[in-house]
Amino acid sequence: MFDINRIKEGPGPGLHFLPELDPQKIADTLVAFANTDGGVLVVGITPDGTILGQAYNDDVETALHKAEELCNPPVVVGSWEQFDLDDWYIVAIRVPRSIELHATTDGRVLVRSGQDNRPLGGQEIRRLATDKATGDFEIETVPGASLDDFDPDVVEEFIRKRNARTRQPWAGSTEDLLVEVGACSEKREPTVAGILLFAKYPQHWLPQAGVIFVKFIGTEPRGEDGLAGYARREEMTGPLARIVENMWNLTWSEMAVSAVVKGLERTEIFEYPQFAVREALVNAVAHRDYRLKGRRIEVRMYSDRLEVISPGGLPGFITVDNIVHEHFSRNPRIVAGLFQWGYIEELGLGIDKMIEAMQSAGHQPPAFDAKPYSFAVKLSNARSRESFAGLDLPPNVNIRQARAITYVRERGSITNREFRQLCSDVSPETLRLDLADLVDKNILLKIGSKKGTYYIIK
């Protein structure tokens, strides 16, 4: 059932407004929604939200029949409803995502791009066709699994949070809801999406559906003294909601936090913006290719960056160049489930906000690395010189020295070795001179000699 309150949101990736029953425009939108993540077409309302109310039942049937003839192959409409708004009639047409590649009869392959239906070019069409040919892995049923393998507490939590988010309490049975969200088939057989979202231990069937967290001391994947190893390694399993929570809590606990005191107020400065980190983690869980066996999501924390590596290349027609503006989900039911759960704040806008959060905090924008079988997001913790302005630093220090001072304030002292780990791309001699200059400026105090030397705030 369509929530009529959604029209207040305005058009977007999953919602399109048409003022009248134009078969060609309806066909364009059916194709775009079916090729992307599905959506709802509302007829009888203008793009700016003005209700015209000229959509009547008989006319809808006729227009939809004509629109289907303009789609190749025909797009199957999920359902449609008529709403009477003070004698103004509008119609909401629900279009599900399709595993087929659809085009209009004049040859255009359209996808949903923001508020618009965008035609794809040749290479984009080939990539989308390849992705479609694999089918929807997340709705395949899982042999040997039953609804008894679902965790009732996790299902109850999902329903409670879904009701709060959609503002439409589910009136049917729990099993009917599980069918509705794609967690099980009409025959009540658990799907891959259902197992990942609700099973007590999804890794029994999908061992690749876990996460490895590794923290390294420096900027390279090795332990202390350059030897193989790491400072911390954890593995996370369980349903996706629990994995997201555990990933976040672990990453959060390992992030450096500094404090700035202005007057009587204390402000904490985090190593990375919270939103950017959470978005990178959730995106990895939501969009990874769960067909790929033998590799799990990896979260790698270095002294200068955080890397989140997700198995599977970019889906469909998405590329690094258009990732900010376009949206296509490999796992739309998992994405919808995490959205209704509250782990995804706003569908289709996460990358934009991640970039904004990093830049607002004085960091470089996120770096994206797309390979055929993996996609990585890299967040750098290096801040611009201006971002240190709120730390009450002396005006005559460079960015390397600012990082050293911040490090000392956080941890009490710094050694030459620790400074080299903070600024691995700078020569040891330059860093030695930086520390000596801070001593000359009476900012730091040198303690000890030779290998036992360290520096504290003077």
Question: Looking at residue 71, which CATH number applies to its domain?
Answer: 3.30.950.30
| pTM of the predicted protein model | 0.75
Assess whether 258 and 363 both reside in one domain: yes
Domain end: 380, 405, 439, which one?
380
Assess whether 297 and 427 both reside in one domain: no
By CB atoms closer than 10 A (0-12, 13-18, 19+), residue 171 is: exposed
Task: Give me the domain span that covers residue 93.
Answer: 4-120
The separation between CA 337 and the C-alpha centre of its own chain, rounded to angstroms, equals 13
Assess whether 116 and 25 both reside in one domain: yes
pLDDT score at 222: 73
Contacts of 422 (CB under 8 A, 6+ apart): 303, 304, 400, 403, 404, 407
Cα 107 to Cα 109: distance, rounded to the nearest angstrom: 7
Assess whether 417 and 354 both reside in one domain: no
Strand stretches in 323-438, DSSP E = 367-371, 374-380
Cα 194 to Cα 181: distance, rounded to the nearest angstrom: 9
Strand stretches in 96-189, DSSP E = 103-104, 110-113, 116-119
Low-confidence ranges of the chain (pLDDT < 50): 261, 263-264, 385-386, 389
pLDDT score at 176: 94
3-state secondary structure 266-311: EEEEECCCHHHHHHHHHHHHHHCCCCCCCCCEEEEECCCEEEEEEE
pLDDT score at 263: 47
Largest Cα span, the chain: 90
Cα 343 to Cα 245: distance, rounded to the nearest angstrom: 9
Tell me the backbone φ, ψ of residue 234, rounded to 5 degrees.
-135, 145
SS3 assignment, position 365: coil
First to last CA, the chain: 67
pLDDT score at 327: 84
Q: What is the pLDDT of residues 36-57, one digit of tens each?
A: 989 999 988 888 888 887 777 7
Assess whether 363 and 215 both reside in one domain: yes
pLDDT score at 174: 95
In a domain, 99, yes or no: yes
Domain end: 177, 202, 227, which one?
202
pLDDT score at 218: 82
Count of domains observed in the chain: 4
Beta strand 15-18 with 39-43 is parallel
**Residue indicated by tokens 């190749």:** 72
Tokens of 80: 């449609």
Tokens of 134: 């694999």
Contacts of 17 (CB under 8 A, 6+ apart): 7, 10, 11, 42, 45, 46, 47, 49
Contacts of 107 (CB under 8 A, 6+ apart): none
In degrees, to the nearest 5, what angle opens at C-alpha 78 toward C-alphas 75 and 79? 125
Residues facing residue 116 across a β-bridge: 113
Contacts of 5 (CB under 8 A, 6+ apart): 167
Domain end: 311, 345, 380, which one?
380
Q: What is the pLDDT of residues 401-425, one digit of tens each?
A: 888 888 888 788 899 988 888 887 6
Tokens of 272: 């990375």
SS3 assignment, position 92: strand
pLDDT score at 410: 79
Assess whether 86 and 172 both reside in one domain: no
Assess whether 447 and 367 both reside in one domain: no
